[in-house]
Chain A
Amino acid sequence: MKSYLTLDEIQSDLADGSISCIELVTHYLKCIREQQALHAFVEVFEEEALQKARETDQKLKQGSAGKLAGLVLGIKDVLCYEGHTVTASSRILQGFESLFTATAVQRLLAEDAIVIGRQSCDEFAMGSSNENSWYGPVRNPHHLNKVPGGSSGGSAAAVSAGLCHAALGSDTGGSVRQPASFCGIVGLKPTYGRVSRWGLIAYASSFDQVGPLARSVEDVARITQVMAGADGHDNTASPHPVDDYPSLLASATGQRYRIGYLREALESEGLDPEIRRFTQQYLQQLAAAGHEVKPVSFPLLEYVVPCYYVLTTAEASSNLSRFDGVRYGYRAPNVNDLETLYVKSRSLGFGEEVKKRIMLGTFVLSAGYYDAYYTQAMKVRRLIQQQTLELFKRCDFLLTPTTPTPAFDLGEKTSDPVAMFLADIFTVHANLAGIPAISLPLGSHSSQLPFGIQLMAPHFEEARLLAFSKQLMDVCLSK
């Protein structure tokens, strides 16, 4: 089967009969079997995906197929899909079967997307390397001894390796964009509230957002357009009107934008010299193409990761208190009293990273420390958001590398929690401010690994962000 960059290409081949959904699904199932060493999928819905493919082929014949017909999709193991297991890649949810379907997934299914399986991630989406999964680490398809990034590592690896056409992940501090960067694909974190979180297993509720991973900006635009919008099940899902992102993709043509790059990011100590050089050259190219490129100052950059960790661990400690071994999930055996049942079930059910974050979150919320840590972090968050919005008065987009380094070795950062945190330094900014951000696979490192460039835009400016991204990708692909 030929390699498809966009769903448009697939649909055009479906229309002239040169391929069928059943052939597409059969192809991906074969690729998944051949690439089991990646550990990208934790479960493949083989029979069911084939059945849906047959139904969709029938609908195509009758002219009644939805607008995503032919899209073969993987979903991160944090999204509920009725009648299917979902575990957040944790022991504590082994065997848990979803009682309903996440709104984001439901809207894609309604347009005839086919879900081929669920994909490994860091446990409860906590991690930057996919090494915290109960199912074991996922490998980077570009180099098997490297991590795929995290926490949506299985999703990024699967799309990059051609095991499915696109995937749905979730992004709390970079969990869609950072693995997209490490695996050489496109990943979008929409504006906070753009996509409903109903049916997404919660990590940090004032940060979490569902986002797509794909090989093209066009597909990211099409998937986001279908998922986005208000939802009666989630009142944090915004009623702000959803633009028709796919039809607006050409709107950046001929536009000259004001692009600010964060000086502190490019000067940051941990930034790989090759990524720095590439980003500088890239900015020069954008200027040469007529855009107004300027350095902007964001002095709070060094505080974004600490601020993120105080707030997300606090929210996680609260969200994860529901896992108690009583109503669902893992229950420790041979326990004779209720208190011990809670403690043993949680201590044996959660992995080490999750327990550490629950501990830190509980600490920063505890009496005597609440104001010094939690309240202070919420104040710093306000400053981060204010300074970011100030920058958008002078810039249409903010640009940084997505990650300070390309994919690192498996095991390289597992012994130092803070080193792992800093892999997210450029991505957490968008989640703290609630703005949309995208990672585009524009860079290639001498180590043969890809890396991404990140663009951030003001709240609900997905249409402009995607249109400009498409333009940048077209220039890159034409070279």
Chain B
Amino acid sequence: MQITDELLNKVAALCKLEFPGETREQLRRDFQRMLDFVDLLQEVDTEGVAPLVHMTESVNCTREDQPSGTLSREAALKNAPQKDERYFRVPKVIRQ
């Protein structure tokens, strides 16, 4: 299938990426090449084959339900690019 600008825009919006002018043509070319390559899979006859979803035979792998702590607030905030004492900070979400 042909990769159009419209399709690129739609996919980029879904995964929250943007590709400014000069990188766009390169992306379109590479994307086309990658897609043509994976299109090979359409040749394989998979009639009646169930998709392989889980890679282990294990079913219901559980452990004892022991209460324990997870990350402390301080640890969770440690790597935040912007924070105050209690919260991650982001730009204002609600417009006035």
B interface residues with partner A (beta carbon < 8 Å): 7-8, 10-12, 14-19, 23, 27, 30-31, 33-35, 37-44, 46, 49-56, 58, 61-63, 71, 75-76, 78-82, 88, 90-93
Contact = CB atoms under 8 A, between A and B. Distances in A.
Contacts of A385: 52
Contact of A366 (B14, B37, B75): B14
A380 B44 contact: yes
A343 B17 contact: yes
29 contacts: A96-B79, A99-B76, A193-B55, A193-B56, A206-B54, A232-B63, A239-B61, A306-B37, A307-B41, A309-B38, A317-B15, A326-B81, A343-B16, A346-B17, A356-B31, A359-B12, A363-B7, A366-B10, A375-B51, A376-B46, A377-B38, A379-B49, A379-B50, A379-B51, A380-B44, A380-B46, A381-B51, A382-B51, A383-B44
Contacts of B23: 352
A182 interface: no
Interface string A291-308: 000000000101101110
A contact patch SS: helix
B6 to A, nearest CB: 13
A306 B31 contact: no
Interface residues of A, number: 71
Contacts of B17: 343, 346-347, 350, 355, 358-359
A330 to B, nearest CB: 7
A106 interface: no
Interface in A131-148: none
Contacts of A193: 55-56, 58
Nearest to A340: B91
Interface in A311-341: 317, 321, 324-331, 335-341
Given A238-B56, A383-B46, A359 B27 contact: yes
Interface stretch (A245-253, A415-423, A462-470): A415-423
Nearest to B8: A359
Given A303-B40, A336-B92, A379-B46, 8 more contacts: A192-B55, A309-B34, A326-B81, A359-B12, A379-B51, A382-B51, A383-B44, A385-B52
